[in-house]
Chain A
Amino acid sequence: MFDQFLSTILKADFLFSIIRITAPILFAALGAVVAEKAGVVNIGLEGIMSISALFGVLFSYWTQSWLVGVLGALVIGVILGLLMGFFALKLKTDIILAGIAINMIGGGGTIFLLYMFTGMRGNTGALVSQNILIPTVNIPLIKSIPILGEVLSGHSVLTYVAFILVFVMAALLYKTSLGLNIRAVGENEHAAESVGISVLRIKYIAIAISGAMAGLGGAFMSMYYSQGWNSGMIAGRGFIALAAQAMGRGEPVGTMLSSLLFGFAQALRTKVSGLQGVSSYLVSLIPYVFTIVGLVIYAISTTKKVRRYRETQVKAAE
């Protein structure tokens, strides 16, 4: 049983699928990272992904260009982020409730919107054709490397974008003045305000970027992963992203690693569900149970970490 397990996961195509499956979670998780850094909780990632996914397909169908579709999804993500920001920061709706509202729109609202724009019900089946999906890329040199080539080459454009964005996000946060301001606002609003930084403006920007990330994640799902939009396709990835961000200590690279972990869990589920005698339902549990377990481990280690940190502070002062 165990060697069967091992031989399953150590195959190139399995590793390939991990990367593929991780990408949408990673997008949303990066969105959670930037929001959290500015001190904003974005639990509407799930809804933003769903809505952007829909519009990604619609835009690409109308213009017959996948690029427009992806960009459109990104823009929709930004708009939704700003909408959340408006209600949470200006009208002072609890930001968590604002997130839940977005998720509701992402639930049934998307079905409605689909109908409104196309007259179709439930999914975009007929709209999608190969040419409007995100193309895959076979990287010239890498694809020839044995095993590694199979794992790394042949992913969709957006997959590579996701992982590149990890480092872009890190650069944004740690190398640009905007990133500096975001981190200042997230850690100590008063300090930021006292030097003339507009806390409100920074939070809007952060939540807009967060929405953009989720938008790309949605586009990934509908325009590559599932090759079309259907209601319920996001299946909680937006929430798993929150856990990934927490486990990744809120840092881009750490979040990438924890997202890969969740990607692994989901890939495992897909792989295992094909095996004989295994309930597809029990296997579907894996990523979600993983998330809770991960959160628990993180929580335990944080309490320990905080305690250790406090001790070093006392020592430093001595």
Chain B
Amino acid sequence: MENDNFVVQMKGITKVYPNGIAANRSVDFSVKKGEIHALMGENGAGKSTLMKILFGLEQPTEGEIIINGEQVVLSSPTVAISKGIGMVHQHFMLVPSLTVAENIVLGMVPTRNGVLVDYKKAIEITQEVSQKYNLQVNPSAKVMDIPVGMKQKVEILKALVRGAKILILDEPTAVLTTQETTELFKELISLKEQGYTIVFISHKLKEIKQITDRLTIMRGGRSMGVYETAATSEQEISRLMVGRDVLLNVEKERSQPTDTVLKVRNLEYTNKWNKKMLDNLSFSVRRGEILGIAGVEGNGQRELVEMLFNLNTPDGGTATVNGQNIINLSQDKIRDNKVSLIPEDRMTYGIADIASIEENVISDRFTQKRLNSGPLFNMRMIHKESDQLISDYAILCKTRKQQVKMLSGGNIQKVVVARELSSDPILIIADQPTRGIDVGATEFIRKKLVELSRAGAAVLLISADLNEVMELSDSLIVIYGGKVVAYFDDTSTLDDIVMGEYMLGLKHQSPEEIEKVCHD
């Protein structure tokens, strides 16, 4: 009886991937009919996985799902759709050259005589459904010409027109401007009034406070509980969302930073959806220190790293390494300046998967004289160097000839790290260096970063793992909305709760305090 106003009940959901990572641990999640329910958590907390399971894109390792009182197995999105569940993904599933109407009716196209598309009917259907749900769209416009806000409405209509009564929106405001966000919220409330249920995945505190009824917080794959939005303060939410379950202890001597190596000044960048991702960003990194960048993903970290390694161009600002500009400099010249990058996407940038460990580990140095004798490689030196690196970095493998893709995730990352850290860099940019890898490799890589920084390198650490960024860094900045909102020059005295508040935009330091990170 108590169940009959719950449309969704997920009980004891556990999801363990084949590589051993547990994305969801015995999670309970319930949604009442007609409510807007927020699902919150940092990246990696497990909320996307949970929703993928709800939409039939993934299967739980354990647990059960009850929709409208009926226990179901959501084996595919088609099944989920038939149960009235619709999902609006973060990356839209639209066909750019087709019109709004065509996209909405795709897969269930109205026809005259079974062959010719009845475009009039498609437009009618679109207009009907657009008016019914009060989501204004232009049926005849091509999707590639409409603004992002409208694209999202099209996605919502797509779900509604297929009979969804439960809508899952995955970080819907990530790509919207403020105005579009306001409009979206109006529409969501209107849908709620018509009896629809909405699950709203986000980590933006202010928005969640604005329109949600209840919220579920996830952290480290577990649910931290369900709360009434109105009765919970932003600080409390922040404390629950951002925190460390187990304190990491990284042994390191105090850092004694010396001269500045990397100077980032006034970086500006607006992305193709007109969102300002970098807003007058400035900071410096000195020799002998690990400067961490803490922040929820999507606040400009990605863009910053791209600017520093010529994968993108900023609209304004400078970045120099020992005075030498590195913006738009070709990667081989950047490396000549003794800069190394441990990339976030190791499979795309970090390795050539079917090449051997040896071939991967020399990719940044294979033209150097010491590895070549005349026109040929000096194989003895190359073997020696690879073996040395394999041993120094404890890469678990059969031989140096083994294909990198055969290694475990942690060892693949160690191959990347072995290469990047062994070129004697003076600036190391480590982007999510221990994401998705096992404990042993993680510990190893962290130790190495400390070792190198104490030996005089400057390390810029970007990590969504709060533990890591707080424990591993000597000093850190918090980035929010493409700006530095806090600078802490001594991480050993930091507090989770305070960190959370800065990361979620509840607090920010004064400009004078922030300026200190420039060390001018």
Contact = CB atoms under 8 A, between A and B. Distances in A.
A18 B116 CA distance: 34
Interface residues of B, number: 26
Interface in B177-193: none
Nearest to A171: B116
A14 to B, nearest CB: 38
A317 B117 contact: no
A191 B89 CA distance: 11
Contacts of A178: 115
Contacts of A179: 117
Given A176-B117, A317-B148, A191 B106 contact: yes
Given A194-B93, A316-B147, A317-B148, A184 B117 contact: no
Contacts of A197: 106-107
A184 B106 contact: yes
Interface in A299-318: 310, 313-314, 316-318
A252 B335 CA distance: 48
Nearest to A318: B274
Contacts of A196: 78, 107
A196, A197, A314 pick with most chain B CB within 10 angstroms:
A196
Interface in B66-114: 77-78, 93-98, 102-103, 106-109, 111
Contacts of A94: none
A195 B107 CA distance: 5
Interface string A177-199: 11111011001101110111100
Contacts of B103: 191
Given A175-B116, A180-B117, A192 B272 contact: no
A180 B95 CA distance: 10
Given A184-B106, A196-B107, A191 B117 contact: no
A175 B95 contact: no
Contacts of A313: 144, 272
Contacts of B97: 183, 187
A194 B77 contact: yes
Interface in A35-94: none
Contacts of A318: 274
B173 to A, nearest CB: 16
Interface in A124-177: 175-177
B345 interface: no
Given A195-B106, A197-B107, A316-B147, A177 B117 contact: yes
Interface in A261-318: 310, 313-314, 316-318
Contacts of B366: none
Contact of A192 (B77, B95, B108, B116): B95
Contacts, number: 64
A163 B103 CA distance: 31
Contacts of A180: 98, 102, 106, 109, 117
A176 B115 contact: yes
B376 to A, nearest CB: 32
A272 B106 CA distance: 52
Contact of B273 (A188, A194, A310, A317): A317
B145 interface: yes
A180 B144 CA distance: 16
B96 A188 contact: yes
Contacts of B272: 310, 313-314, 317
B147 A317 contact: yes
Most central of B77, B95, B96, B117 by chain A CB within 10 Å: B95
Nearest to A185: B95
Interface string B136-148: 0000000011011
Contacts of A181: 106
B94 A191 contact: yes
A180 B108 CA distance: 11
Contacts of B108: 195
Contact of B93 (A175, A183, A190, A317): A190
B94 A188 contact: yes
Task: List 7 tightest A-B contacts by C-beta distance, closest first.
Answer: A195-B107, A317-B274, A191-B93, A177-B109, A184-B95, A194-B93, A196-B107
Interface of A: 175-181, 183-184, 187-188, 190-192, 194-197, 310, 313-314, 316-318
Interface of B: 77-78, 93-98, 102-103, 106-109, 111, 115-117, 144-145, 147-148, 158, 272-274
13 contacts: A177-B116, A179-B117, A180-B102, A180-B117, A183-B95, A183-B98, A188-B95, A191-B106, A192-B106, A196-B78, A313-B144, A314-B272, A317-B272
Given A188-B94, A188-B95, A190-B93, 18 more contacts: A177-B111, A180-B106, A180-B109, A180-B117, A181-B106, A184-B98, A187-B95, A187-B96, A187-B97, A187-B98, A191-B94, A192-B106, A192-B107, A194-B93, A310-B272, A316-B147, A317-B148, A318-B274
